[in-house]
Amino acid sequence: MRVAALLTLLGAPLAAQEIAVAPLPPGSVSRDEGLAAMARIHEVLTSPRCANCHVDDGNLPMWSGPSYGPEPRPHGMNVTAGDSRMGAETLPCATCHMADNSPLPHGPPGAPGWRLAPVEMLWFDQSIAEVCAQIGDPDRNGDRSVLQVAEHVAEDDLVHWGWAPGPGRDPAPYSAEELVSFLLRWDAAGGPCPAG
């Protein structure tokens, strides 16, 4: 069994990965290949491991995915992250979400700096066209180029948690390295977005 798979099963966080982020020459990827890369990006970003904390300005983390039942619902225990997106006004996220996953099935997941993503980075319940427009817009992606978004995915431990979510949770599809590759391919294709 691969070490990463074993760590995921045990709920241990993945060690910092060395993920190469090298841009591809503009135009080296066709529009169709770029659209296919965006479909995979959307699949990752709207998976429960990512989208549950990429929510709107209601500041309510979500519980969704196969282990939570057929319908998404707001985080239990009346949790709200407040305008700070980390619970500073209410109950800090770090009260339960430590730097590491709980070893218990469905126990509190953990990673350094646990918090909701900025509201501009809304992915929960968003269409592929909406995510595509957002991910390439510096006003809604943390003032980053697509290359910088790929670097963020490559380097951020909280992002990497999505592939090592602890016992009882399905990881995000693909891998952080593959998501970086999809972002770079999409960017090289000119960042095409599907209609609608």
The two three-digit tokens of residue 184, written as one number: 């770079």
Phi, psi of 174 (to 5 degrees): 65, -140
Which DSSP state fits 178? H
pLDDT surpasses 80 at 16 = no
Taking only the tens place, the pLDDT of each residue in 102-133 is: 999 889 999 999 999 999 999 999 999 999 99
Task: Using the structure block, give the residue that is written with the tokens 């549950």.
Answer: 52
Compute the mean pLDDT over every residue in the chain, rounded to the nearest whole number.
89
Q: Which of 139-143, 146-150, 174-178, 184-188 has the lowest mean pLDDT?
A: 139-143
Confidence of residue 7 (pLDDT cuts 50, 70, 90): very low
Taking only the tens place, the pLDDT of each residue in 76-93 is: 888 889 999 999 998 899
Three-state SS letters, 81-144:
CCCCCCCCCCCCHHHCCCCCCCCCCCCCCCCCCCCCCCHHHCCCCCCHHHHHHHHCCCCCCCCC
Phi, psi of 162 (to 5 degrees): -55, -25
